[in-house]
Amino acid sequence: MPPPEPRIETIVAISTPPGRGGIGIVRLSGPEAVRIAGGLVRMGNPPEHARVRRARVIDPKDPAATIDDALTTVFLAPHSYTGETLVEIAAHGSPVVLEAMVRGALAMGARLAHAGEFTQRAFFSGRLDLTQAEAVHDLIAAQTLDQARVAAQQMGGAISQRVTPAKGALLHLIALLEAGMDFASGELDDVDIVPPAQIAAAIASVHEPLAELAAGFRRGQLLRNGAAIALIGPPNAGKSSLFNRLLERERAIVTPLPGTTRDTVEESLSLGGIPLRLIDTAGLRDGAEQHEAIDAAEQQGIARSHEALADADLVLLIHDATQPITVAESRVAALLAAPGVARPHLVVYNKVDLLAADTAATPSEHEPEVDAIRTSALTGEGLASLRAAILAQLGASGSLAESGALNNFRQQEAVSATLAALSAAAAANDSGLPHELILMDLHTALRALDSLTGATTPDDILARIFSTFCIGK
C-alpha cells in the first residue's frame, strides 16, 4: 500500500508592504483557501474563477457587523500563481483590518506563510522554474527600468528558452551513445558505433550556446547588483563638487576649505540603467604634505577613504588640474596600476575651468601618462565624457538588457559546471576513451544544467533562495 499523500496546508499572509496604504492584500493558498476566505468576508455572489467580487470584511468580534469593504478574487487550482486554489482579498490598507483577517484565517486552520512560500509553491507545482522564481525577487527589488525589464523577461522564461535547445541536443547525444553501446554489445554487430568526429561535433553544438550564455554573466550581474564607485583624491580637489554633479543635486557639503568631507558620503543613482553607489571620501593626505595637524575626525575619515578604495568596483582618482600631483596621489595611482592587484580606475583632472586659456588645450605638465578625463564641476565641462567613461570601464557601454542573461552566482556556477563537464567529455572523446567514460561526463553536464532551472537543485539551495523573499510573495 503506497504511503498517504502529505497534507497540504493552507497558508495566509499580508502581501502588501507593512504600514498604512490605500490598498492592503491578504492572500491565501491551499485546499481550504475558499472555505477560510468565506469566514473572513461575505460576498454578494458566489465566487467564480478569476472573477472579482465585492465583499464585506466581517468583524471577528461580531460576525453580523462589517469593518471594511473589499474586493475578493478566487483562482481555482491549477490555474493560479501557486498552482493551488488561491484567494486574494484586497481591502483598504489599514493594518488593524488586515491583521484581523490574518488572525481569523489562522483560527480557521490556516498557517502563516514563510518568506517566499507562495513562489516556492509555484515552483514545486511546476508553474515556474527556478530561474523564473528568482526573477520574481529581482523584479520586486528592481531599482531601474532596465532591471525591471530584464526581470520580466526572466519571469517569462528567457533563460529556460536559451537553455532548452542545448539540453535537447545533450539528451540526444546521450541517447545516441547509450543506444550505440547497447547495439554494440548485442547481436546487431552491423550497427555502427557513433564515430568520434560526430561526438565532437555534437558536444561542440551543446557547448557553444552555453558558453555564450556564460559570457554574458558579468553584464547581467552588473545590471542586477550595480556597482560601487569611490571618488578618491587629495583635499580640495573638487571630489564633493563632482559627486553632486553626478547626482545632479546638492548632496555633499562643499566649501573652499580643505578637509570639509570628514567621512564617506554615499548616495545611489542610475546611470545607463545601472544602479550605482557613489561614495564621496575624505581627502587623502601624506604626512610630509601636512601644513597643519589633522584632527581625529579627519584621520578617521581618511581611514574610511582607504576602505572605500579597497571595496569599490571602480575608483575615480580626482586631481586638481591647477596643482602638482601629491605624494599621496602618486602612491594611490601606483597601487591602482600595480600588476596583479590592479583595480579598475579613471584619472579625472578637475577644475580645468581655472586653467589659463593657453594651457587648457594642452595636458598639464603634472599629468600622468594616462588618458585623463578633463572636467569642471563648476561649468559641467567633461561630465558627459566622464559618465561615458564610467559605463565603459564597468563594461556597460552597450545595452545590458539582454534577454536570458545570467545574473547571479548560482546560475553562473550551474552553467560553468556544465561547460566543465562538456569539456571533460570532449577531452575523453579526443583521447579515444570508451563511450562509458564519455557518458559519465555527459550525465554530469546534464545534472549541472538541470540544477540551473531547479530540476535537480538540493533542498538546502532552494531554502536559501526562497528565504530571501518577502513574506506574502
Spell out where 262-375 has E strands: 265-271, 274-280, 314-320, 345-350, 373-374
Per-residue pLDDT of 439-461, as tens digits, reads: 999 999 999 999 998 887 777 77
Instruction: Report whether pLDDT(108) > 90.
Output: yes
Mean pLDDT within 55-66? 89
Which pLDDT band holds residue 184 (cuts at 50, 70, 90)?
low
For 175-223, the DSSP string reads: HHHHHHHHHHHSS-TTSPPPPHHHHHHHHHHHHHHHHHHHHTHHHHHHH
DSSP 158-176: HHHHHHHHHHHHHHHHHHH
Inform me whether the pLDDT recorded for 122 exceeds 90: yes
Closest C-alpha among 380, 433, 67 to residue 244: 380
Residues 6+ apart with CB under 8 A from 250: 244
The predicted-structure confidence for 354-398, as pLDDT tens digits, reads as follows 885 545 444 444 444 457 899 988 888 999 999 999 988 888 765
In 3D space, the residue among 71, 72, 90, 74 whose CA is nearest the CA of residue 22 turns out to be: 90
More confident residue, 142 or 10: 10
* pLDDT tops 80 at residue 401: no
Give the mean pLDDT of the chain.
Answer: 83
pLDDT, average across residues 20-26: 93
pLDDT of residue 223: 85
Of the two residues 335 and 292, the one the predictor is more confident about is 335
Name the least confident of 36-40, 262-266, 329-333: 262-266
Write the DSSP symbol of residue 292. Answer: S
Q: What is the pLDDT of residues 202-219, one digit of tens each?
A: 999 999 999 999 988 888
pLDDT over threshold 90, residue 101: yes
Name the pLDDT band for 473 (thresholds 50, 70, 90): confident
DSSP state of 18: S
Least confident of 120-124, 244-248, 435-439: 244-248
Residue 183 has a pLDDT of: 58
